Amino acid sequence: MTGNKAVAYKEPGKVELIDIDYPSFDLKDGPGVNPANVGRSVPHGVILKTVATNICGSDQHMVRGRTTAPPNLVLGHEITGEVVEVGPGVEFIKEGDICSVPFNIACGRCRNCKERKTGICLNVNPDRPGSAYGYVDMGGWVGGQANYVLVPYADWNLLKFPDKDQALEKILDLAMLSDIFPTGFHGAVSAGVGVGSTVYVAGAGPVGLAAATSAHLLGAAVVIVGDLNGDRLAKARSFGCETVDLTMGGPAEQIEQILGVPEVDCGVDAVGFEARGHGHDAKEAPATVLNSLMEITAAGGALGIPGLYVTGDPGGVDEAAKKGALSLSLGTGWAKSLSFTTGQCPVMKYNRQLMMAILHDKVSIAKNVNAKAITLEEAPQGYAEFDAGAATKYVLNPNGYLS
């Protein structure tokens, strides 16, 4: 059988390339696999030869030891691939198709899927609504930072690119459709971004830059990005964003210098639970982003919160944070009648439209997030550089499709 190598979490701060089984059309026991999923038959699935699979900030949370991820968990939920085998229950997807894989696994049959809430499918994770490839507590579906990966419910989950040659020409852009582009777009949409909006995006990592890109695409008048990392802020400025340097203090005063008022119409949290405070020596303070967004978002506005928050964080700054309980100024949000949207992005709600924007040259998401292709063997170095704050979106190239 064809060999298969994959990037696996080993221990806090360490990932390693390991040998794993070639995928089959049933779920086998392994690190992180829910016992109720072992032996589950997947006749509706396909096996993909991976074209591109990205390192995500959500992966970094696990690699830093900030979750309960077990050793040897195969990572990778941002997957683009070519179909090499189809299960007997697959009707429309064919061998040779190149497809984007939404990071949320969805059955297409449950109530939530039928209501387009594919981030909280009821049938793919025995523990809770919602699932993803290669992620802790998400059912144990094997991750895609590998040569080959199984995708269930293929007719439902896969977004087929209409032209193979065109897709390969724009593959670094299209590789962003599995997660960060729809996630950033969802953050902007749920924050109410529209024509003429003023927007503050907290965080200039890849999801924050994708949210800023999305705000421009949605017609925002001014997009402001805040971060502690100067290189990432420079990347935001490169495609027309204003920036707030949080090493200089909180965002309100700097926003006022840009807009004339210390508030924006819409706020996006692209940071999540490992947030730090403001100033040169900022320490971890996980409620900082949410509280500052409530402060600077205009009354009646909305917050889009695609940044990841968890219910179990072994490295939390206090006992409350270890359970995901943060000291939020909810009274501020209530007094200002702010709306909040949290949770996994329902990728399928947006990915086809964003694909069309890419294919017809309406957006350059790979450029904006500084996508860089590296080999599977270079993954540990990519993880280390990303963790150190590199202003780069690392795209793994396991099978040589990427130039």
The verdict on residue 174 lying in a domain is yes
CA 304 – CA 299 distance, rounded (Å)? 15
Task: Verify that 157 and 223 share a domain, yes or no.
Answer: no
The verdict on residue 162 lying in a domain is yes
Task: Verify that 360 and 280 share a domain, yes or no.
Answer: no
Half-sphere exposure in the Cβ direction for 138 (13 Å, CA):
29
CATH for 237: 3.40.50.720
Task: Verify that 205 and 312 share a domain, yes or no.
Answer: yes
The verdict on residue 401 lying in a domain is no
Task: Verify that 313 and 366 share a domain, yes or no.
Answer: no
CA 152 – CA 156 distance, rounded (Å)? 9
CA 113 – CA 106 distance, rounded (Å)? 7
Local structure of 10: helix, strand or coil: strand
Which residue has 């007997």 as its token pair? 88
Q: Which of 306, 322, 342 is the last residue of a domain?
A: 342
Tell me the β-bridge partners of 163: none
The verdict on residue 403 lying in a domain is no
The verdict on residue 402 lying in a domain is no
Which residue has 């981030």 as its token pair? 119
CATH for 70: 3.90.180.10
Task: Verify that 126 and 43 share a domain, yes or no.
Answer: yes
The verdict on residue 46 lying in a domain is yes
Write the pLDDT tens digit of every residue in 223-262.
999 999 999 999 999 999 999 999 999 999 999 999 999 9
CA 101 – CA 159 distance, rounded (Å)? 7
Write the pLDDT tens digit of every residue in 44-85.
999 999 999 999 999 999 999 999 899 999 999 999 999 999
Query: How many domains in the chain?
Result: 2
The verdict on residue 137 lying in a domain is yes
Task: Verify that 199 and 316 share a domain, yes or no.
Answer: yes
Taking the chain (403 residues) in consecutive chunks of 10 residues, what is each chunk's mean pLDDT?
88 95 94 91 98 95 92 97 98 98 97 97 95 93 97 98 96 98 98 98 97 98 98 98 97 97 98 92 92 98 95 88 91 97 96 98 97 97 95 97 88
CA 292 – CA 285 distance, rounded (Å)? 12
The verdict on residue 106 lying in a domain is yes
Contacts of 387 (CB under 8 A, 6+ apart): 60, 63, 64
User: C-alpha distances in angstroms, 232 versus 203, 244, 322, 386, 389?
Assistant: 9, 11, 28, 11, 8
Task: Verify that 215 and 350 share a domain, yes or no.
Answer: no
Task: Verify that 91 and 51 share a domain, yes or no.
Answer: yes
Give the count of beta carbons closer than 10 Å to the beta carbon of residue 20: 18
Q: Which of 342, 360, 385 is the last residue of a domain?
A: 342
pLDDT value of residue 92:
98
Nearest of 13, 108, 51, 129 to residue 395 by alpha carbon? 51
Range of the structural domain that residue 117 is part of: 5-179+346-396
pLDDT value of residue 93:
98
Task: Verify that 269 and 314 share a domain, yes or no.
Answer: yes
Task: Verify that 354 and 245 share a domain, yes or no.
Answer: no
Task: Verify that 264 and 146 share a domain, yes or no.
Answer: no
Which residue has 């899927």 as its token pair? 113
User: C-alpha distances in angstroms, 93 versus 90, 156, 176, 313, 349?
Assistant: 7, 9, 21, 39, 19
Q: Which of 326, 342, 358 is the last residue of a domain?
A: 342
Task: Verify that 168 and 47 share a domain, yes or no.
Answer: yes
CA 133 – CA 62 distance, rounded (Å)? 13
